[in-house]
């Protein structure tokens, strides 16, 4: 069984366009195989009539809450009607997409079953050498004169002495 999404590639209604994009995006994110049927393409009048006659929900939008004919997107599983955008969105929200699309678990695209084996803390000696940077001896910075380093150490000692006198 194949999920079919009926869309209109030339719809002037922005809400219809957004709904169509969202349906396809969600199906892609859930790895569900589907066919897109554009009812606006030349020569697809028969498919358009099928969608309009078999759809039981109107797919109404805010700008057109009661359209004369069902608006895309309309979702079918082969020739069996599943629902319109609002029903699709609700099924997605309550995590019942398989039920909505009338799919069996096996019909969903299988996800990768690859395993990654992580070794916790085991580092081989040659890898360890590559990871550890060479250690440089401390206080080898030639830009700081030795007298300044001593002065800062003396300042710390005098600060400690002042702190002891204040107590």
DSSP letters, 18-62, are HHHHHHHHHHHHTT--EEEEETTSTT-HHHHHHHHHH--S----S
Task: Give the pLDDT score at 140.
Answer: 54
Quote the pLDDT of residue 144. Answer: 52
| Burial of 71: CB neighbours in 10 Å, binned 0-12, 13-18, 19+ | buried
- Give the pLDDT confidence score for residue 64 in this predicted structure: 78
Q: What is the pLDDT of residue 164?
A: 54
Res 3: pLDDT? 96
Supply 70's token pair: 């069902």
Grouped pLDDT means (10 residues each) for the chain, 167 residues: 94 94 97 96 95 88 82 95 96 96 68 60 57 56 53 53 53
- For every residue of 95-137, DSSP letters joined together read T-HHHHTT--GGGSPPPP----PPPSS---HHHHHHHSPPPPP
The structural domains of the chain, ordered by start, are 3-107 (3.40.30.10)
Give pTM, 2 decimals.
0.61
Residue 145, classed as helix, strand or coil, is coil
Judge whether 93 and 27 are in contact, CB under 8 Å: no
Residue 81 is inside which H or E element, if any?
strand 80-84
pLDDT of residue 155: 54
Q: Give CA–CA dist 86/72, Å, rounded.
A: 11
> How much is the pLDDT for 60?
76
> In the 8-state DSSP scheme, what is residue 79?
T
pLDDT of residue 68: 85
């Amino acid at each position: 069984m194949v999920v079919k999404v009926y869309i209109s590639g030339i719809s002037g209604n922005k809400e219809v366009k957004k709904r169509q994009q969202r349906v396809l995006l969600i199906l892609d994110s859930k790895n569900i195989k589907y066919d897109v049927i554009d009812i606006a393409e030349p020569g697809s009048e028969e498919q358009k009539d099928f969608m309009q006659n078999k759809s039981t929900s109107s797919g109404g939008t805010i700008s057109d809450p009661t359209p004369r004919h069902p608006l895309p997107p309309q979702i079918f599983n082969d020739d069996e009607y599943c629902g319109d955008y609002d029903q699709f969105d609700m099924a997605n929200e309550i995590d019942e997409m398989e039920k909505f699309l009338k799919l069996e678990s096996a019909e969903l695209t299988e996800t990768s079953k690859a395993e990654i084996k992580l070794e916790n803390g085991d580092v081989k000696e040659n890898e360890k050498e590559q990871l550890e940077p060479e250690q440089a001896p401390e206080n080898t910075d030639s830009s700081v004169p030795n007298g300044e380093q001593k002065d800062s150490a003396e300042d710390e000692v005098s600060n400690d002495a002042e702190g002891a006198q204040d107590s």
